[in-house]
Structure 1
Amino acid sequence: MKLWLLRHGEAEPRARSDAERALTEHGRKEVRHAAKHLRERPLTQILVSPYRRAQQSAELVREKLGLSLPLTTLDWLTPDDDPRQVLRRLDEFMAEELLIVSHNPLLGALAGLLVHGHLQQPFTLHTASLICLGGEFPLAGAMTVDALYHPH
């Protein structure tokens, strides 16, 4: 299994709520650049946070790759959700290659949990950072980092 984690691109600093913050033009460029690393990957599912900037990022990836996959929006992929609960729920979405588009601190903590088996070593993910984790199953401490891309 390959689990790809993409942090949304740069977002505007203010909106009526955090959930409504949209991507900046720079953020759109960052996401398009990150999407290049997903070319030729047999993605079978895209899970995405309901927040606007994550939705926009997922749409840009889908557009850049010419994919017709639906986006599965999940309310438990927001910035402050518990990575342990996310890990428990991933069993519902077993796929050969899965992309999650979400936020920090959730994604950095989730990657750390999957690789190290605990929450004390989260990965540093910048806007539009993309990390690929490989393993037989998404289990705490059972995955390895296959690739890590940061935007320029």
Structure 2
Amino acid sequence: MKLIIMRHGEAGWHSIDQMRELTEAGRFACGRVASDIASSRWRPELIWCSTLTRAQQTASIVGEVINVPVIERPFLTPDDDPGECLDALLTEDNLPHTLMIISHMPLVGSLSTLLVDGHRRGIPFMTSQAVVLDLPIVGPGCGDLKAQFLA
């Protein structure tokens, strides 16, 4: 399985956290990263995204550029346990060969390090940054970082 993990685009601070919306710069950066992913060999077949507005907006932009469906998942908000996402990856039926997850810090950092290094300390992600992980077996420490996309 290939897993693309992306942090949402830059969001403004004009509302409560759950409703923060992307800035124009955030929308542009998401579109640029989506175009780079679309022209790469790691095109996702499905996107899972957080239930928060800025991740939904990012997923909408990426999904439109790449032409893939988006599904909101409740365990992808900023402070969720990356183990919940790992459990879903292990138990979900009919996962595509390449799945994309769009979420927030610190979850994207802790999920990435859990899958690559086997711990949850987390690496930093810039807004609109995406990484591609190769997971021959889905589990802690089983992934290899294959590519990175930056706005």
Query: Counterpart of 1:70 in structure 2: which amino acid?
Result: P
| 8 Å contact from structure 2 (residues 10, 25) kept in 1 | yes
Contact 1:125 1:150 in 2 (8 A): no
What does residue 43 of structure 1 align with? Answer: 44
Which residue in 1 is equivalent to 2:107? 106
Asked if 1 retains the 8 angstrom alpha-carbon contact of 2:4 and 2:44, the reply is no
Cα pair distance change 1:53/1:33, threshold 3 Å: same
Partner Cα separation in structure 1 for residue 43 and residue 149 of structure 2: 18
Distance 2:111 2:44 in 1: 20
Q: TM-score, normalised by structure 2?
A: 0.91
User: Tell me, which stretches of 5 or more residues in structure 1 are unaligned?
Assistant: none
Secondary structure in 1 matching 2:126 = coil
How much does 1:70 deviate? 2.5
Q: How does 1:108-147 map to 2 (within 5 A)?
A: 108-120=109-121, 122-147=122-147
Write the mapping of 1:73-84 to structure 2, written as runs, cut at 5 A.
Answer: 73-84=72-83
The alignment's TM-score, normalised by the length of structure 1, stands at 0.91
1:44-67 alpha-carbon deviations (Å, 9 max, x no partner): 2110101111010011012222x1
Q: For residue 71 of structure 1, what is the aligned residue in structure 2? A: 70
Residue 150 of structure 2 is matched in structure 1 by: 150
Percent identical residues? 36
- Structure 1 residue runs of 4 or more that deviate by more than 6 Å after TM superposition: none
Asked if the contact 2:37/2:149 (under 8 Å) is kept, the reply is: no
Instruction: Give, in angstroms, the shift of residue 71 of structure 1.
Output: 1.3
Does residue 31 in structure 1 map to residue 30 in structure 2? yes
CA shift at 1:42, angstroms?
4.0
SS of the residue 2:83 aligns to: helix
What's the CA shift for 1:150? 2.4
1:71-103 CA deviation, whole Å, 9 max, x = no partner?
111111000000112111112162200000111
Structure-2 separation of matches of 1:113 and 1:96? 20
Once superposed, what is the RMSD of the aligned Cα atoms?
A: 1.3
Letter matched to residue 85 of structure 2: V
Q: Secondary structure at the match of 2:85?
A: helix
Aligned length: 147
Q: Which runs of 5+ in 2 are unaligned?
A: none
